[in-house]
Chains A and B, each alone.
Chain A
Amino acid sequence: MQFMLLFSRQGKLRLQKWYVPLSDKEKKKITRELVQTVLARKPKMCSFLEWRDLKIVYKRYASLYFCCAIEDQDNELITLEIIHRYVELLDKYFGSVCELDIIFNFEKAYFILDEFLLGGEAQETSKKNVLKAIEQADLLQEDTKEAETPRSVLEEIGLT
């Protein structure tokens, strides 16, 4: 996989992960072109696109588009399932995920993605294992949080 983009129906980028080295200018150009192309497509149309010399596989979940770029010999259908598995993981982690979860906790969404896909390849396809890895890191996070700055947690509760 060359890159993965998440963007909203309004064309706002929500997540971007590049597995090939590109300059920022190129990234922006690609993102702009792709968002435009994908948003212009009708719902009943094919989920695959030929774009430059890449293949784009995209799927829409509610207001969010998940979009992956793969190479010619890669399997389009399994890429579609990679997207779906990622959504499943997000759903499990956030408990019924919505776009807001991803907007406000985008760094978490990145952590999950990094446990699932690494360097553009599926790293771990067992849902249980991915979530276990994330939870372990999170747990540590909570622990240290409490140990180091107990007050801030209280603050947060107090303010909410």
Chain B
Amino acid sequence: MSDVVEKTLTALPSLLSLDSQPGSAKLSSNSKLGNLIRGITELTSKHEEEKLIQHELSSIKEQVSSPNTTMRQMRELMVRAVYCEMLGYEASFSYIHAIKLAQQGNVLEKRVGYLAVSLFLNENHELLLLLVNTVLKDLQSTNLIEVCMALTVVCQIFPKDMIPAILPIVEEKLNHPKEIIRRKAVLALHKFYLIAPNQVQHIHNKFRKALCDKDPGVMTASLHIYLQLIQENAEAYKDLTASFVTILKQVVGGKLPMDFNYHSVPAPWLQIQLLRILSLLGKNDQRTSEVMYEVLDESLRRAEMNHNITYAILYECVKCVYTIHPKSELLEKAATCIGNFVLSPKINLKYLGLKALTYVVQQDPKLALQHQMTIIECLDHSDVIIKRETLELLFRITNAQNVTVIVEKMLDFLRLSKDDHTTVDLAGKVAELAEKYAPDNEWFIQTMNAVFSLGGDMMQPEIPNGFLKLLSEGFDSEEEDRKLRLFAVNSYISLLQGDPSKLPQRFLQVICWVLGEYSYLKDDLDPVVVLRLLAQLLDMKGSSSDTKSWVLVAMTKLCWSETAVSVAQQVAETYSSSFDTTLRQRAQELQHLSRDSQLHSRVLPPGGSLEPVEVDSSLSFLDGFVSEALSAGAAPYKPLHQRQEELSRSKALSLEPYGLSLPISTSSCSITDRQSPTLLSTSSGLSGDSTDFSHRGSSTTLKLDGVRRVWGREGYLAQKEPVEEVAQVEIPSPLRSPGQQGDADSCHSRTPTANPEGDREKQQLASSLFGGLSSQSSVCLMEKSERFGRKAKGQRASSTPNEQRSDPSVSSSSAVDNLLCNNLLEENSEPIDSSTKQTFQHPQSLRVPNGACDAEAIISDDDTKGRNRPVSPEEHVEGDDFPPCEDKSKDLSLTAHLPAELSGFSHSEIIPLCSNRSLDLSACHVQTDNTVVLVVFVTNSSEDANLQIQVLSEELEVCCPCESPVEEVRGHSVSVRQYSLTVKRPLVHFELVGRLSYSAAGTLQSMQFSYKLPLTSFIRPLTVSTEEYGSMWLAFSHDTKQNLTLMKEEQEPLSATLNALKKKLSLHVVEIIGVEGLVACSLLQDQPCLMHCRVHAGRLAVWLRSPVADLPDCLLYHCQRALQEH
């Protein structure tokens, strides 16, 4: 068909021979629009066009406002006005007439009127209110076409506040006999849900009816709503999984009418929608995932590779398979699919293949290894998009060994990139990698220099801030810190001696700060030299006043010698009368401090340690002002994250640059540095702001974690090749350096080798790019979950002394070996999922003496410990038989194993964590009065095994009462472990990750699991009197305010709302006074949080206060949720 279109679509020149065109019968070539269009095409210059259109517009304007113009003429005029707007000329005078046309015209005029309205206006336009009555009338019309038109316009634009006016009628349309009306009504409700979710909350059961509609079109439309709902809260819709699976089965099986086929594929849009829904439902949920395995398999099988549309379905299928709880056979098939995509000659498929690889590579690095040669080819692809995606992939597999090569490639790309957005994004990624994996100081500083000069001034401010923070806070070793700082000073001095006018302002600011703080470290450097270099920046044309402030501050720090003072005085003189107040302020500071050396040394001791300045981040001194303003009717402050949430709910196109994947928390940036002006302003740490950043940070890490967890390959390996896995785990990874070549070779033999010369080059690149990928997978994953690259840096720093430097691209074996040793040592010091390690193909090849022995010793040590340990004195229950498939009964029987001391308390549902053939891991948490206990049940359904469980969390302190890490679990029994949890730092949800390693019958295996629990588990009611409440209130410094929805209760909405919160979150209601309510709770025993509620304009204005940072924000989130669910 597309050929036909291509042939018949013709270019403009044939315009005048219209009559010969078969499709031209409908062209109103004589109409005024036709004349206008023809007139425009005959013009040669933009200027002439403008003149013509202006003339046209004024004539339209004249006619629309004339009382003699009929509706029919009006219709024609509107079309012309729309055309003019499309060409980029404003015709706002016609908007009101478009509304009038929709209101007064007959059906066909109405249609144009509605179209013009939907094209002219956007959701927020005030004229839209005038449309409401027209829509209302048309919705009630007996003419189907009019109803359709009204619904169509409602789906596109409708004022949010007026939804209640038409909602009942739209709801009614869900029962309309015509499927087209039902379908449009469902889509209208979808639209309402998107712009005002709480308006349609009460009709959720109607959505279910739409899902069961006998017309496939209506059912498809309802899936849009479900996708949205499930994205927000998958838990609430798990019960629908089976229905979705059944629908998909029917669609795949070709049970729908032929009309829905697209290129003989049954309803592809529907299939993709369902696959997206299923992947959301099956994420992190084994039981739900199991329901869909069969249909996924079927989909993969049915979609034969022949047309774009089947690729689209396959791609969605692969994404789904990799998101839900893993199943080895499906993963294998999905991996083959990705392979086919990557190797495809079609460029679109290759792109998607790379994208899929990027998505899965952290879980399955083997897949990237398999395709390494293709990846390298893509790195030099002529299409920038492919190149960019390849870099994204490489970014995900970066480790300490390949970082130099990958960063080099990224910087190469950055040098050529012209797109601002890409530059910002990529610069952030390079900075992240450099921070995490830098092999040495020199490389780190040079890479950061490149980032700063290439990233320019668009760069995220977090990057320079993070960099300076890193320099100032340092690592474990003083000596290392000194070296790093000295190196930075040296590098910057030489940069300033070159041509600093080319450097971006941000970079200059960084340079100023570093020189101001650390140039004293360089013994042979006279501060006067530095001052002169800095002064030169002041005279540069391009310097912004911001940069000048930084320069002056740096100078202030440096002027402690006599000669220096005279230089400084001169500068201060010049700027102390500047028009820029900040500059003048800095100049004054410089002047005064340089005059008084005593004061100078007291304020700015050279090389003095950085004492963090205490900042009242809640700005509590403003409380009086705020409450006054509030009582005067001011809108309460909404924290940034909430405003953004509201914004994103309206689905606006975000024109901001990407949120960086760099998890730097600005909140922790608070004023550790003394004088930098910009830093001060960024860290004006309002509690709202700081939580926003931590939210953002956590959401990015969450994403990664989510993927990883689902993806533990243990199930895969354990089921598929248990014997091999044993081999893998017991062979330590130093074999890697030769084995890696072997890997490359073996993959090679699969891909056709054409040119041995070029190939060798590529192979070399391959080995440097994919080096250590296997061992990296585990190390990197653990590091990813850290909030900041500092830990990794620390390791780097500590490992530097015994590290030999050599050119990485040549990668002399000693360097690689050494790195590997370090890697290994690191591995042993941290809990790592050993099962993600690569299969080594040459276990008997060369060993590196050091690392190998160490690792082996440790592993075997572990092993023997496990085997010889006597039975630990923990609860053992024997002989119970657990049918593994009956979950209900399992839950019940596990409940019986709850330790006696916990039985009096309420416990959460026991959920399965992970399992394989012999072991089943489940867990729940129990809330006692003063703690939360995580109870882990290990059900062993085969023979005796020794096992060891580690549970970790960043934000929780995990305490295991039993001492022995290794424990024996007898065959066919349940072992119970307890961990008491305390909160280190409040979060909305806490996540625990754990690893279970066990040895049974001489083999060592391990599994990973994760467990999530909400903050509310840690919240306890706090009983205080109103007086106590009052005095506590004033003492707390962290706070947050927000408006919540009141429950729609006729009488006493306040007490009803508070009671609901009390029930859901176990809060204590201290007192209700008129329209105000006092509520108190505490985080476990000792971290109180107070809540002040006030009914204001039909909403509940809530103000939370606590001595604990972040607690008010997190609790507020749960209050919101609790009220939403209600």
Q: Nearest Cβ in chain A — how far from B212, in angstroms?
A: 19
Are A78 and B272 neighbours in the complex by a CB distance under 8 Å? yes
Contact assessment for B18 and A125 in the assembled complex, using a CB-CB cutoff below 8 Å = no
Contacts of B22 in A (CB 8 A): 95-96
A160 touching B30 by the CB < 8 A rule? yes
State the Cβ distance, A111 to closest chain B Cβ, in Å. Answer: 7
Contact assessment for B183 and A104 in the assembled complex, using a CB-CB cutoff below 8 Å:
no
Cβ-neighbour of A110 out of B119, B220, B221 (below 8 A)? B119
Q: Which of A57-85 contact B (CB under 8 A)?
A: 61-64, 73, 75-78, 80-81, 84-85
Q: Which of B176-218 contact A (CB under 8 A)?
A: 180, 183-184, 187, 190-191, 194, 217
CB neighbours of B693 from chain A (8 A): none
Q: Are B26 and A77 in contact (CB under 8 A)?
A: no
CB-CB under 8 A from A10, the residues of chain B are: 12
B interface residues, tally (CB under 8 Å):
99
A148 touches B106 (CB 8 A): yes
Complex interface bits, A140-157 against B, C-beta within 8 A gives 1, otherwise 0:
110011001100000010
Min CB gap B1019→A, angstroms: 33
Contact call B655/A97, Cβ cutoff below 8 A: no
Given contacts A28-B88, A118-B184, contact A76 B10 (CB under 8 A): no
Q: Say if the beta carbon of B15 comes within 8 Å of chain A.
A: yes
Q: B385: which of A19, A46, A75, A87 is its contact (CB, 8 Å)? A: A46
Beta-carbon contact of A119 and B156 below 8 Å: yes
Which residue in A104, A107, A119 is a CB contact (below 8 Å) of B191? A119
> 0/1 per residue, A30-54, Cβ < 8 Å to B?
0000000000000011111111111
| CA–CA, A140 and B144, complex, Å | 11
Residues of B within 8 A of A128 (CB): 259
B312 touching A63, Cβ below 8 Å: no
- Rounded to whole angstroms, the CA-CA distance of A43 and B311 in the bound complex is 21
- Please report the C-alpha to C-alpha distance between residue A144 and residue B14 in the assembled complex, in whole angstroms: 33
| B residues near A19, Cβ cutoff 8 Å | 156
* Nearest CB in chain B: distance from A39 CB, A: 15
**CB contact list, A109-136 vs B, under 8 A:** 110-111, 114-115, 118-119, 121-129, 133, 136
Residue of B30, B33, B118, B312 touching A156 (CB-CB under 8 A): B30
Q: Specify the chain A residue showing the minimal Cβ separation from B389.
A: A50
- Indicate if the CB atoms of B312 and A77 lie closer than 8 Å: yes
Q: Verify B1–A91 contact, CB threshold 8 A.
A: yes
Stretch at the interface among B96-104, B345-353, B473-481: B345-353
Cα–Cα, bound, A19→B654 (Å)? 13
Q: How far is the CA of A64 from the CA of B474 in the complex (A)?
A: 58
Residues of A within 8 A of B658 (CB): 53
Q: Is the CB of A52 within 8 A of B421?
A: yes
Kindly state the separation between the CA atoms of A61 and B10 in the bound complex, as whole angstroms. Answer: 10
Assess the B309–A77 pair: CB atoms within 8 A. Answer: yes
Are the C-beta atoms of A18 and B83 separated by less than 8 Å? no
For B23, give its contact among A49, A61, A95 (CB under 8 Å): A95
B797–chain A nearest beta-carbon distance, Å: 35
Q: Which of A44, A87, A137, A149 contacts B111 (CB 8 A)?
A: A137
Given A110-B119, A124-B217, A125-B269, are A100 and B10 also a contact pair (CB < 8 Å)? yes
Contact between A52 and B655, CB atoms less than 8 A apart: yes
- Expressed in whole angstroms, the Cα–Cα distance for A124 and B786 within the complex equals 46
Count A-B contacts at CB 8 Å.
245
Interface residues of B in 39-97 (CB under 8 A from A): 72, 79, 82-83, 86-88, 90
| Docked pose: A4 CA to B202 CA in angstroms | 33
The verdict on B652 contacting chain A, using a C-beta distance below 8 Å, is: yes
A19 to chain B, nearest CB (A): 8
- Tell yes or no: B810 within 8 A of A by CB: no
- A136 cross-chain contacts in B, Cβ below 8 A: 144-145
A129 to B181, CA, bound (A): 12
CB-based contact A141/B12 at 8 Å: no
B1011 interface hit (Cβ, 8 Å): no
B347-382 residues with Cβ-Cβ distance < 8 A to A are 347-348, 350-352, 382
**A98 lies within 8 A of B315 (CB):** no
Cβ of B653 and Cβ of A104 under 8 Å apart?
no
Minimal Cβ-Cβ distance residue in B for A87: B5
Tell whether, in the assembled complex, residue B26 and residue A105 are in contact, meaning their CB atoms are under 8 Å apart. Answer: yes
Mask, A7-18, CB within 8 Å of B = 1, is: 011100111111
User: Which residues of A have CB within 8 Å of B400?
Assistant: none
Q: Distance (Å) between the CB of A9 and the closest chain B CB? A: 8
Which residues on B sit within 8 Å (CB–CB) of A97? Answer: 5, 8-9, 23
Contact B26 A94 (CB under 8 A): yes
Q: Which residues of B from 644 to 680 have beta carbons under 8 Å from A?
A: 650-658
* Contact of A77 with B10 in the complex, beta carbons under 8 Å: no
Measured CA separation A105–B26 after assembly (Å): 8
B386 within 8 A of A: yes
A87 to B5, CA, bound (A): 8
**Cβ of A45 and Cβ of B4 under 8 Å apart?**
no
Contacts of B29 in A (CB 8 A): 104, 160
B5 touches A13 (CB 8 A): no
Question: Can you name the residue of chain B whose Cβ is closest to the Cβ of A26?
Answer: B655
Decide if B9 touches A99 in the complex (CB within 8 Å).
yes
CB distance from A132 to the nearest CB of B (A): 9
Task: Return B913 CB to nearest CB of chain A, in Å.
Answer: 27
Q: Which residues of A contact B654 (CB under 8 A)?
A: 52-53
For residue B936, CB closer than 8 A to chain A, the reply is no
A90 to B224, CA, bound (A): 25
Q: A46-B385, A54-B653 are in contact. Are A21 and B124 (CB under 8 A)?
A: yes
Q: With A and B bound together, what is the CA distance between A78 and B267 in angstroms?
A: 11
Chain A residues whose CB sits within 8 angstroms of the CB of B34 once the complex forms: 104
Interface residues of B (CB under 8 A from A): 1-2, 4-6, 8-12, 14-15, 18, 21-24, 26-30, 33-34, 37, 72, 79, 82-83, 86-88, 90, 106-108, 111-112, 115, 118-119, 122-124, 144-145, 148-149, 152, 155-156, 180, 183-184, 187, 190-191, 194, 217, 220-221, 224, 257, 259-260, 262, 267-270, 272, 276, 308-309, 311-312, 315-316, 347-348, 350-352, 382-383, 385-386, 388, 421-422, 650-658
Apart from the given pairs A48-B385, A136-B144, 7 other A-B contacts in the complex at a CB distance below 8 Å:
A46-B350, A46-B385, A103-B37, A121-B221, A123-B221, A126-B259, A140-B108
Instruction: List 20 A-B residue pairs with CB atoms under 8 Å apart, sorted by A's residue number.
Output: A13-B86, A18-B122, A19-B156, A21-B650, A23-B122, A49-B385, A53-B421, A53-B657, A80-B308, A80-B348, A81-B312, A95-B22, A96-B4, A100-B10, A111-B111, A119-B155, A133-B148, A137-B108, A137-B111, A148-B106
Please give the residue numbers on chain A whose beta carbons come within 8 Å of chain B beta carbons, in ascending order.
2-3, 8-10, 13-24, 26, 28, 44-54, 61-64, 73, 75-78, 80-81, 84-85, 87-88, 91, 94-101, 103-108, 110-111, 114-115, 118-119, 121-129, 133, 136-137, 140-141, 144-145, 148-149, 156, 159-160
